[in-house]
């Protein structure tokens, strides 16, 4: 599958997920569930942030200076990483918390709508991690395609996905958002109060483990063949 095809299907999945949210309201005469719309927007935000950071990085390195470009890229990457769990967070919508007993929306509709919604978040996560792996590999190893198959490059994806799982947990159970880093004391208080028992720590560890494995499997399924194809292809630039 080419990158163009992958992006086309990803855009289609996101559009379909958003369509089903609004179609639910129109078909069954129920209010639009605004939190899902908000979460959808937050899900695509990391991709927009990454694109903006990549453009600024290229322009800064090309027209200003490489050290400044690296500094800008590092800061932008940190902001992107804080926002990335918003994509995977859509998995937690599978609890069907938006359903009401007095609504006449068929269960089958909400199942397919929320499943599509959750998978759009998973795919957005995969695309974000894949883009980060490509960019970091280029920054560290230059134009070597084979470097994508190296241990550092593969480890990058594992570490980022593990951090995403941590972020999803903090968002769902501690109700922390990416922008809460502006109040570190408040964040630390919430974290300390939440993990006040061994059971809470164990639940956190199991949550992160299961979500990391799931996201890694999907990452390997979607991004793996594409990255392997690049790694096994000749370099575009050959040093003489």
Q: Which two tokens stand for residue 180?
A: 């809460």
Q: What is the mean pLDDT of residues 215-240?
A: 81
Look at 73-87, 99-113, 116-130, 140-154 and tell me which has the smallest mean pLDDT.
Answer: 140-154
- Looking up tokens 């089903």 gives 20
Q: What is the pLDDT of residue 239?
A: 47
Classify residue 237: in a domain, yes or no: no
Which residues form the domain of 190? 3-231
Classify residue 22: in a domain, yes or no: yes
- Within 8 A by CB and 6+ apart from 55, the residues are none
Per-residue model confidence as pLDDT tens digits over 44-78 = 999 999 999 888 888 887 787 878 888 888 898 89
d(CA 87, CA 29): 28
Q: Is 119 exposed, middle or buried (0-12, 13-18, 19+ CB in 10 A)?
A: middle
d(CA 19, CA 180): 30
More confident residue, 177 or 84: 84
Classify residue 149: in a domain, yes or no: yes
The SS3 of residue 82 is helix
Q: What is the pLDDT of residue 96?
A: 66
Q: What is the pLDDT of residue 240?
A: 44
Q: What is the pLDDT of residue 200?
A: 92
Per-residue model confidence as pLDDT tens digits over 1-38 = 677 888 999 999 999 999 999 999 999 998 898 999 99
Mean pLDDT of the chain: 89
Following CA atoms 102, 107, 111, 113 in sequence, which dihedral angle do they give, to the nearest 10 degrees? -60
The residue among 198, 120, 121, 216 whose CA lies nearest residue 162 is 216
Tally of structural domains, the chain: 1
For the cut 90, the answer to whether the pLDDT of residue 104 exceeds it is no
- Within 8 A by CB and 6+ apart from 204, the residues are 169, 195
pLDDT classification of 236: cutoffs 50, 70, 90:
low
Instruction: Please give the backbone phi and psi of residue 142, each rounded to the nearest 5 degrees, phi first.
Output: 75, -140
What is the model's pTM?
Answer: 0.89
More confident residue, 58 or 43: 43
How far apart are the two ends of the chain, measured CA to CA in Å?
32
Classify residue 236: in a domain, yes or no: no
Look at 59-73, 151-165, 208-222 and tell me which has the smallest mean pLDDT.
Answer: 59-73
């Amino acid at each position: 599958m080419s990158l163009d095809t992958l992006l086309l299907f990803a855009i289609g999945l996101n559009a379909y997920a958003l369509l089903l949210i609004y179609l639910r309201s129109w078909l069954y005469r129920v209010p639009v569930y605004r939190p899902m719309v908000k979460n959808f927007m937050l899900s695509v935000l990391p991709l927009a942030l990454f694109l903006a950071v990549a453009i600024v990085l290229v322009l800064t390195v090309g027209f200003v200076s490489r050290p400044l470009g690296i500094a800008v890229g590092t800061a932008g990457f940190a902001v992107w990483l804080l926002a990335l769990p918003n994509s995977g967070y859509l998995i937690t919508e599978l609890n069907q918390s938006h359903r009401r007993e007095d609504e006449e929306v068929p269960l089958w509709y909400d199942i397919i709508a929320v499943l599509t919604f959750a998978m759009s978040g998973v795919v957005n996560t995969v695309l974000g991690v894949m883009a980060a792996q490509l960019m970091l590999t280029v920054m560290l190893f230059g134009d070597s395609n084979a470097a994508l198959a190296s241990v550092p490059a593969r480890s990058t994806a594992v570490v980022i996905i593990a951090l995403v799982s941590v972020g999803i947990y903090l968002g769902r159970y501690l109700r922390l958002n990416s922008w809460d880093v502006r109040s570190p004391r408040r964040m630390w208080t919430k974290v300390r109060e939440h993990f006040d028992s061994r059971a809470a720590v164990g639940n956190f560890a199991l949550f992160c483990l299961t979500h990391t494995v799931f996201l890694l499997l999907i990452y390997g399924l979607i991004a793996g063949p594409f990255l392997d194809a690049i790694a096994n292809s000749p370099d575009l630039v050959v040093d003489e």
